[in-house]
Amino acid sequence: MASERDPSVFRTSLTDLVEELLAHEGPLPIVAAGDPVLRRGAEPFDGQLDPNLLARFVAALRATMHAAPGVGLAAPQVGVPLRLAVIEDPAPVSEEVRRARGRVPQPFRVLVNPSYEGIGSGRVAFFEGCLSVPGWQAVVARHTEVRLTALDEHGRPVDEVFSGWPARIVQHETDHLDGTLYLDRAELRSLSSNRATSELWAQPTPEHAAEALGFSLPD
């Protein structure tokens, strides 16, 4: 027989879930597309993990992101349905790519309960990939500039404008928390294996890919 749900039950289960993940050595296992945890909206963070556990979890997310390697990782990607993500990008790219994509270094950040809105109507399209969709990349047109509102890991409010590649990372990771994968927004005809991307589509911008594969780019 069903009974009233005790809020402390869910609280305990999230703590147990994270403790269980942290009990194993090394990077956390990354959940791949097809797992419903990537498609449900994540629960806003509201102290479900105590500060010590939150700090350990954030450190594990960061280590997992580094090991992958990736430039962002959202909690649902390790099976934890909380609105929490980490981003960091040393941007090891050529000057030409840096200029074309606005891929400037992004210091490590923790995003708690993030949301974003586009600023203006500008959109830019580039190949991107996702640690939860290994082996593939596709072109996604995204807001050129976004305003991000969030909390940091200490609960302090964040209200900041991101542009260039960091804006792309912020949109990609925040989308994860809403159950959206980059493929939902991608030009599917651009879908390319990692090998094809590196062998054929390593140019700073995706114009050649658009022509050869038959998809359109924003004006």
Nearest distance in Å: CB 51, Zn ion:
27
**Among residues 43, 88, 128, 173, which one is catalytic?**
173
* CA geometry: angle 178, 181, 185, nearest 5 deg: 105
173 is annotated as an active-site residue: yes
- Site track 82-121 with Zn ion (rule: CB under 5 A), x = hit: ----------------------------------------
Pick between residue 130 and residue 209 the one whose CB is nearest to Zn ion: 130
Which residues, listed in sequence order, are joined to residue 110 by a DSSP beta bridge? 86
Per rule CB under 5 A, is residue 71 in the interface with Zn ion?
A: no
Pick between residue 131 and residue 217 the one whose CB is nearest to Zn ion: 131
Chain-centre distance for alpha carbon 33: 13
Nearest distance in Å: CB 74, Zn ion:
7
**What residue type is 19 in one-letter code?**
E
The burial class, CB within 10 Å (0-12 / 13-18 / 19+), for 118 is middle
Question: Between residue 116 and residue 135, which ones bind Zn ion under the rule CB under 5 A?
Answer: 130
Pick between residue 31 and residue 158 the one whose CB is nearest to Zn ion: 31
End-to-end CA distance of the chain: 58
Inter-residue long-range contacts of 156-159, CB under 8 Å, 24+ positions, other chains counted: 158/111, 158/114
Give me the residues that bind Zn ion (CB under 5 A), please: 130
The residues carrying an active-site annotation are 173
